[in-house]
Amino acid sequence: MSTTELTWPKSSYSGTQGDNCVEVAVTAQAIHVRDSKDVTRPAFAVGREGWSRFVRHAAGG
């Protein structure tokens, strides 16, 4: 699947002023991440287990 075919929802923390933020698109195989300020740059993908570990670590646990 091409990243242009994915749905990239905006975070509610992103604001309306083009704040620094990332967008995350979820598929069955991976979590795709891109820069919301420059969507022409390549996105990257992380496996679901790797993403879960990252989120747990970022949340402090």
pLDDT tens series, the chain, 61 aa = 566 689 988 777 666 665 668 889 999 999 999 888 888 889 999 999 999 999 999 998 6
pLDDT value at position 28? 92
Q: Alpha-carbon distance 56 to 29, whole Å?
A: 19
Number of domains in the chain: 1
Taking the C-alpha atoms of residue 35 and residue 24, their distance in angstroms, rounded to an integer, is 9
- DSSP percent split of the chain into helix, strand, coil, nearest 5: 25, 25, 50
pLDDT at position 8 is 86
Phi and psi, residue 60, nearest 5°: 90, 15
List the domain range (segments joined by +) for residue 54: 3-58
